[in-house]
C-alpha cells in the first residue's frame, strides 16, 4: 500500500513548480519530499541530497574560533590562500596520496564546485581549438550545469560497459584523437555509482592525457572513502589511487565537506600539478593580459573574479584538520565509516525486497559500501522507479540525470537514521507486495 497517493504527489509537484518529477533535479526532488513531509507529518527516507549526516570536526571549529578571535576577519584573505593552509595541503597530499605538489600549487576554493567552475574556464581557454570537456559518467550533474552557464560544450560516455584498461583505452583514444578535448573529469570514488577507478584504468587516463595534452580533473570529494582498504594511515601504504602518478596534466579537487563534515563552510582545494601550474599559454596571456602562466591565471584572473578568495577563518580551520590528519591525531576515515554501515544495512533491505545494485562491480572486486549506491528494480526505468519510490516515502534521483545509460536511481545514505531502518523495511515490503 502506498504511503502517499498519486494525487497528493502530483499536488506537491504543482505547488513546487516541478514539471516532471521522473526527471527532476536533486533540488526539485528535495522540494517535493519536504512538501509531502510538512503536509502529512509522515517522515521521508531521504536519499536525494548528498549532504553530510555526521557532526562537524571539532578541531576545525576550534581553529576557526581562534582565528576569528585573533582579528583576521577584518582583512581580505590573499587570493592564493593563507600560507598555513597551502603548506598543510601539500603535506596532506604527500601523506595520503604519496604525490608531491608544492604549497604554491595548492589553492583554496569555496568548495569543489568553485574549483571545477574555475578549472573548466582555464582548461578550455588555454589552447585554441581545445575547448570541450569529456565526462566519464555517471557523474555529478552540477558540473554539466556549470558548463551550460559557461557555454562550454561537452561529450560523455557511460563507463559501465568499458571497465578495465583494455576496454577503456580505445574509448578514450577515440575521443582524445578528435583534438578538441581540453579536459576530462570524473570522481573517484564515484558520485553516484560509488565505483572506483583502478590503477590500470588511471594509468591509461594519465598516459593518454599526456599524449593528447588533456587536463585530468580528478574530483576527490570522497577522499579515502573506499572503505574496502585501509587508507587512513598517513605516510604509509596503501595510498589513494590517483591519476597524478601517471601524468603531469592534472588538477586534484579536495573538499572538506564529506571527510570532515564541513559542508556548510564551503572550503576545498584546487591542487594543480607543479608542471601544469608553471606552464605558459599565449592564449591565456592574450585573453587576460597577464603572463599566461596557467596556475597564476587560474588563481588571480579567474577564481578571484568568481569568489574573491575564501573566508580566512575557514582556511585556518581546514589547515588545522589537515595538519592533525597528517600527524595521526584525526583519523578522518574512521570518523566517517558510519556511512559504510548505513549503506550495507540499506542495501540489504532493498535487495531482500527485490531490488538490485546497478553498478555492482569494479574491475577486480565488488563495489564497496559508502556514501552512495545505485538501485534498480526489475522491469522499471530509472524515471519510473524514482516516481514509484516517492509514493512509498523514499526520495532519490534517476541515474539518467547523472549521464548513466543504466536503469535505476541513486541512493545517498547520509540522512539515514537508526529509527528509520524498520520504517524502510516496512515500506519496501509493501513496495514488493504491490509490484509482484
pLDDT digits (tens, 9 = 90+) for 29-72: 999 999 999 999 999 999 998 899 999 999 999 999 999 999 99
CA 374 to chain centre: 15
How many whole angstroms separate alpha carbon 53 and alpha carbon 371?
10
Instruction: Give me the residue label for grid cell 516532471.
Output: 20
For residues 47 and 412, is the Cβ–Cβ distance under 8 A? Answer: yes
416: nearest Cα among 333, 347, 331: 347
pLDDT band, residue 152 (cuts 50/70/90): very high
240: nearest Cα among 257, 267, 255, 220: 220
pLDDT at residue 22 above 90? no
pLDDT band, residue 115 (cuts 50/70/90): very high
Instruction: Give me the residue label for grid cell 574549483.
Output: 115
pLDDT at residue 117 above 90? yes
CA 422 to chain centre: 29
What does pLDDT average to over the chain? 96
Phi, psi of 62 (to 5 degrees): -65, -40
In eight-state DSSP terms, residue 158 is E
What burial letters (b/e) apply to 142-173, b meaning 16+ CB within 10 Å?
ebbebbeeeebebebbbbbebbebeebbebbe
In eight-state DSSP terms, residue 251 is E
Enumerate the β-bridge partners of residue 219: 187, 253
**Within 13 Å and on the Cβ side, how many CA atoms surround 358?**
30
pLDDT at residue 25 above 90? no
pTM above 0.85, yes or no: yes
Per-residue pLDDT tens digits for 164-218: 999 999 999 999 999 999 999 999 999 999 999 999 999 999 999 999 999 999 9
Percent with pLDDT over 90 in the chain: 96
Q: What pLDDT, on the 0 to 100 scale, is given for residue 49?
A: 86
pLDDT at residue 436 above 90? no
Domains, the chain, with CATH or none? 6-54+336-434 (3.90.1150.100), 58-326 (3.40.640.10)
CB atoms within 10 A of CB 114: 21
Q: Return the C-alpha cell found at 326.
A: 597528517
Amino acid at each position: 500500500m502506498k504511503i502517499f497517493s498519486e494525487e497528493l504527489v502530483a499536488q506537491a509537484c504543482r505547488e513546487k513548480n516541478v514539471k516532471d518529477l521522473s526527471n527532476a533535479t536533486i533540488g526539485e526532488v528535495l522540494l517535493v519530499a519536504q512538501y509531502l513531509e510538512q503536509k502529512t507529518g509522515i517522515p521521508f527516507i531521504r536519499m536525494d541530497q548528498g549532504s553530510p549526516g555526521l557532526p562537524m570536526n571539532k578541531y576545525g571549529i576550534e581553529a576557526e574560533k581562534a582565528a576569528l578571535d585573533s582579528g583576521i576577519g577584518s582583512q581580505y584573505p590573499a587570493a592564493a590562500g593563507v600560507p598555513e593552509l597551502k603548506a598543510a595541503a601539500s603535506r596532506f597530499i604527500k601523506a595520503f596520496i604519496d604525490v608531491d605538489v608544492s604549497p604554491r600549487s595548492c589553492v583554496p576554493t569555496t568548495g569543489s564546485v568553485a574549483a571545477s567552475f574555475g578549472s573548466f574556464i582555464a582548461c578550455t581557454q588555454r589552447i585554441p581549438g581545445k575547448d570541450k570537456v569529456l565526462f566519464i559518467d555517471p557523474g555529478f550533474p552540477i558540473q554539466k550545469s556549470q558548463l551550460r552557464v559557461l557555454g562550454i560544450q561537452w561529450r560523455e560516455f557511460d563507463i559501465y560497459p568499458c571497465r578495465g584498461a583494455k576496454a577503456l583505452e580505445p574509448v578514450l583514444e577515440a575521443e582524445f584523437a578528435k583534438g578538441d578535448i581540453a579536459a576530462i573529469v570524473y570522481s573517484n570514488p564515484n558520485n553516484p555509482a560509488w565505483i572506483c577507478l583502478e590503477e590500470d584504468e588511471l594509468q591509461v587516463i594519465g598516459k593518454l592525457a599526456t599524449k593528447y595534452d588533456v587536463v585530468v580533473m580528478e574530483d576527490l570529494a570522497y577522499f579515502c572513502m573506499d572503505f574496502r582498504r585501509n587508507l587512513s594511515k598517513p605516510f604509509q601504504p596503501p595510498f589513494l589511487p590517483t591519476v597524478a602518478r601517471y601524468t603531469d596534466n592534472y588538477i586534484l579537487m579536495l573538499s572538506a565537506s564529506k571527510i570532515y563534515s564541513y559542508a556548510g563552510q564551503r572550503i576545498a582545494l584546487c591542487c594543480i600539478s607543479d608542471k601544469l601550474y608553471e606552464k605558459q599559454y599565449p592564449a591565456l596571456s592574450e585573453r587576460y593580459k597577464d603572463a599566461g602562466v596557467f596556475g597564476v591565471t587560474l588563481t588571480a584572473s579567474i577564481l578571484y573574479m568568481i569568489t574573491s578568495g575564501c573566508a580566512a577563518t575557514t582556511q585556518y580551520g581546514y589547515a588545522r584538520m589537515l595538519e592533525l590528519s597528517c600527524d595521526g591525531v584525526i583519523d578522518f576515515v574512521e570518523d566517517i565509516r558510519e556511512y559504510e554501515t548505513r549503506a550495507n544495512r540499506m542495501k540489504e533491505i532493498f535487495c531482500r525486497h527485490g531490488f538490485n545494485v546497478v553498478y555492482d562491480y569494479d574491475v577486480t572486486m565488488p563495489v564497496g559500501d559508502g556514501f552512495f549506491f545505485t538501485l534498480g528494480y526489475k522491469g522499471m526505468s530509472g524515471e519510473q522507479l524514482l516516481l514509484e519510490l516517492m509514493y512509498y516515502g523514499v526520495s532519490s534521483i534517476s541515474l539518467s540525470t547523472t549521464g548513466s545509460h543504466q536503469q535505476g536511481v541513486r541512493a545517498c545514505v547520509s540522512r539515514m537514521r537508526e529509527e528509520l531502518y524498520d520504517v524502510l523495511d516496512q515500506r519496501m515490503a509493501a513496495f514488493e507486495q504491490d509490484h509482484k
